[in-house]
Amino acid sequence: MSDVADFRKEKNELFGTTEESPLTPEQKKEFKSLNYYPETNKFVFKNLTIDKNINQEIISIKTSAGDTEPYKRIGRVEFEVEEVKQALYLYRSPEGGSIFLPFKDKTNAVETYHDGRYVEPEENADGSVNVDLNYAYNPYCAYNDNFRCPITPEENTLDVEILAGEKRYH
């Protein structure tokens, strides 16, 4: 079993059986599995250089609760999908922590959650990042309105389909 398959299996167990699940008790009763695109190497990007020559300001990102949350824009990465250059901004909480990478693409509202998905880049010792979109996932507010989640900023909208990661729940 691949690392992605193991991740998906563990996530299904978390969603279906634990208190940490964003699913309501009613949803858990009928839960079998989340929906995913097949795993593919097409959307795995290794050793991406973070362009820090951007406006590294703190911005207000809208949330599903109708308010905003501050994030610092820390850099931008570029990669190619179907021979077309794409770019996404990386964010971090002003208090620190891991890199936050929300994104939208042409699958939103059709096959994936309308407000975008998230992926957690792997930070390398040399300052580059690995981005594996097979791990793209929906925020908890995609399953239950009781959660408050950042909504992907428009500046992180790709003009291609990302046929990797988690699909819409329903």
Distances (CA, A) of 31 to 35, 87, 137, 143, 154: 11, 35, 17, 12, 32
pLDDT of residue 1: 64
Q: Note the pLDDT tens digit of each residue in 30-48.
A: 999 999 999 999 999 999 9
Q: Note the pLDDT tens digit of each residue in 108-139.
A: 989 999 999 999 999 999 999 999 999 999 99
Q: Flag whether pLDDT at 58 surpasses 90.
A: yes
Strand partners, 166: 36
Assigned domain for 111 exists: yes
Assigned domain for 167 exists: no
Number of domains in the chain: 1
- What number is the average pLDDT over the span 61-84? 96
Mean predicted lDDT score pLDDT of the chain: 95
Assigned domain for 53 exists: yes
Please, is 111 exposed, middle or buried when counting C-beta atoms within 10 Å of its C-beta (0-12, 13-18, 19+)?
middle
Assigned domain for 143 exists: yes
Assigned domain for 10 exists: no
Distance, in Å, from the CA atom of 108 to the CA atom of 105, rounded to the nearest integer, reads 6
Amino acid identity of residue 120, one-letter, is: E
Report the SS3 class of residue 42: helix
pTM over 0.85: yes
- What number is the average pLDDT over the span 47-61? 96
Assigned domain for 26 exists: no
